């Protein structure tokens, strides 16, 4: 990713990279090399020029978090698996969200189920249920999880379960045989409409994220933009508490562990222009 003229030795490369990342607002240009399969592999050329700070009061932090395998259930399926009157008990909340919002928007419950696929004798036990209940039951597995139990899970954005993979789900009070519902979650980034406007990206657009991690940095393309539309009540709660949500990338365990994301030092967001070249549109040090 570096040519010899720019960077003659490894230590100098690190120094240049650190300086580059410190200047989070500088514009670094990236060019794409087209591989055999037609995928553009981002290559950074550090010819950045300083840009004015477009962010003002808007939060510009990038967080990258792993979503481990989990299940969303309909009210009907919850009742079938756990019995009449059962309620999910929140034990953890989606990153950055206070309890008041998370109980309505997303939380991890103490309840778990077992998922069975087509491989005899194999199962995934202790798969956590996320609340609140949804309109459609959905099981989100990493590719390795799915292979392990014999499920051919398609990559889908959350909520798009039509024609996805089948499974059997076992709860303490019942068993469900689902014809569809198992997906591998499409990697994505949550951001507010204000953050999207600054980055000049739209809902559903595919970006790339570069995760700089000791000895195992990666670039993940096909990162879908998902806009967070907070209702006024939730906006007010965040304002009252002084909480500012950053841009949040969600990966599955395969993706996150491949680059040891917990040890990552920096993140970069990239956008592809019509010629196929990639441009770094935002960068942030890891907050961990």
Binding site for Zn ion (CB under 5 A): 250
For residues 67 and 284, which CB has a smaller minimum distance to Zn ion in the complex?
A: 67
**Residue partners of 148: CB distance under 8 A and separation at least 6:** 119, 122, 124
For residues 69 and 250, which CB has a smaller minimum distance to Zn ion in the complex?
A: 250
Q: Say if CB 67 and CB 252 are below 8 A apart.
A: yes
Query: Which residue's C-beta sits nearest to Zn ion?
Result: 250
**Structure tokens of 123?**
């199962």
The CB-of-130 to Zn ion minimum distance in angstroms stands at 11
The CB-of-8 to Zn ion minimum distance in angstroms stands at 41
The CB-of-197 to Zn ion minimum distance in angstroms stands at 20
CA–CA gap between residue 166 and residue 182 (Å, rounded): 6
For residues 218 and 224, which CB has a smaller minimum distance to Zn ion in the complex?
A: 224
Give 213: exposed, middle or buried? Use CB within 10 Å, 0-12, 13-18, 19+.
buried
- What DSSP string runs through 158-189? TT--TT-EEEEEE-SS-EEEEEEEEEEEPPEE
For residues 28 and 220, which CB has a smaller minimum distance to Zn ion in the complex?
A: 220
**Structure tokens of 136?**
């459609």
For residues 165 and 249, which CB has a smaller minimum distance to Zn ion in the complex?
A: 249
The CB-of-190 to Zn ion minimum distance in angstroms stands at 6
- Residue corresponding to tokens 């994220």: 209
Q: Say if CB 17 and CB 267 are below 8 A apart.
A: no
The CB-of-188 to Zn ion minimum distance in angstroms stands at 6
């Amino acid at each position: 990713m570096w040519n010899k003229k720019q960077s003659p030795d490894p230590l100098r490369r690190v120094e240049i990279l650190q300086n580059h990342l410190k200047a989070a607002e500088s514009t670094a240009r990236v060019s794409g090399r087209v591989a055999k399969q037609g995928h553009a592999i981002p290559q950074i050329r550090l010819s950045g020029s300083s840009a004015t700070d477009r962010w003002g009061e808007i939060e510009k932090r990038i967080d990258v978090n792993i979503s481990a395998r989990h299940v969303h259930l309909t009210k009907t399926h919850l009742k079938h698996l756990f019995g009449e009157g059962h309620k999910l008990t929140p034990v953890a909340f989606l990153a950055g969200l206070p309890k008041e919002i998370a109980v309505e928007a997303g939380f991890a419950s103490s309840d778990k189920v077992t998922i069975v696929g087509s491989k005899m004798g194999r199962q995934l036990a202790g798969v956590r249920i996320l609340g609140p209940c949804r309109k459609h039951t959905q099981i989100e597995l990493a590719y390795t999880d799915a292979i392990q139990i014999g499920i051919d899970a398609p990559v889908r954005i959350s909520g798009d379960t039509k024609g996805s993979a089948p499974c059997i789900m076992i709860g303490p009070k019942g068993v469900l045989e689902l014809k569809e519902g198992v997906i591998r979650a499409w990697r994505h980034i949550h951001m507010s409409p204000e953050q999207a406007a600054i980055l000049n990206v739209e809902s559903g657009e595919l970006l790339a994220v570069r995760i700089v991690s000791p000895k195992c940095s990666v670039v993940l393309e096909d990162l879908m933009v998902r806009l967070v539309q907070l209702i006024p009540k939730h906006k007010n709660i965040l304002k009252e508490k002084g909480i500012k949500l950053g841009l949040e990338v969600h990966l599955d365990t395969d993706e996150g562990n491949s680059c040891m994301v917990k040890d990552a030092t920096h993140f970069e967001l990239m956008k592809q222009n019509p010629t196929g070249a990639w441009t770094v549109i935002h960068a942030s040090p890891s907050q961990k």
